[in-house]
Chains A and B, each alone.
Chain A
Amino acid sequence: MLKKKAARQARYDRSAYLYLLPALVLLAVFLLYPILNTFLTSFKNEYRFLTGEFAGFGLQNYADIFKDATFGRAIINTLFIAFVCIPASMVAALTISLLLNAIERWQGFYMTLFYLPQVTNVIAAGLVFAFMFNSNFGLVNTVLGWVGIDPVAWIKGEGIAASPKLYYEAYARCLFILFVYTVWQGISLKIILFMGGLQNINKQYYLAAKVDGTSSWRIIRKITLPLLSPTTVYVFITSVITAFKAYAQVISLFGSHYGPPGDDSKMMITLVGYMMDAMGDYLTPGSISKASAAAMILVLLVMLVTIVQFKLTKKRVHYN
């Protein structure tokens, strides 16, 4: 019995640690250590960033956050991005990738075009979306006009502080804009990743299925998608994680007060937005640690979601 165990041990690849060493060192210094620091900071009460003084450890920051209605809104919006926008953009990207994969001529050309948004300047993107949803001469309203729909005031806040109905209508419109923007924003990268994954599937399987008279749709469902699952899981998990860290898009769409003019509830704030606001206030004692606490809650949430995702997808991922 003992001997057998020894045998097992010897089969470990000791050199593995060597392979990991550079990554682990960098990871420890530039990722783990700051995380640990953030973790500690989140428990420091009345923490003053400039001097490093604080009034003992405690849960004050967490308590503060949970009392804050804005934080709840941040969670809801973040979840919206993660579980509504991301799946939608994945479906779109996957569809486009499958279409791309179905063609031979011009494939590279289309790929390049689909890739361009990835390198498009963020400011340009923000500008164009603001323009697209402009109520007077925006592209969206122009198009709606063609089909006989009256122009919609997309980012409009008049009266919303006074009327819950108007507030939620404005909120719905903003969510829609966020949705379109988020879907658009993530699609390029996802297409690239999906294309990479699709290219890795052995063509032989398609042949076998094709000879059997399987329809294209069936082939996609029964062969392509299952064999693409490692990529899909990667894309999903990383997109959701990225979505949880969404910040730039709400700022570029709705400005630093996270909403249409007239709104002071920060209706479109996200978790990182919440964190950034607290951090932006770095000179106020306690602010950085509040941001840290928000970050820790964010991490906790993402971790939870990721673990659930792993559990759910584990069975379905196919590696050769």
Chain B
Amino acid sequence: MLHIACPWCGLRAQSEFTYANDGTLIRPDLSNDSIDDHYNYVYARDPRRGIQDEMWRHSAGCGQFLKVRRDTLTHEIHATGAPQDDLDVPKDDRS
């Protein structure tokens, strides 16, 4: 069972969370009406055998979405943060 460090609530069990989406997806701007750009947002994915950023939700906790950097080969979690956080920046240095 995974244990995920919610950036707000601390380390919690997998059953409190739901996986939401690829964590790198940025929705096209509202003014953007390109079908291609929306296709890429909605459908295209870059599979990562290894470390990838994901969006999860602490659905049975604080309800917040969080970014999770996780290894898809080992299930190790290397970092978590708020949705807008850059996980490359160490936690203490994030604004």
**A and B interact:** no
Residues of A within 8 A of B (CB): none
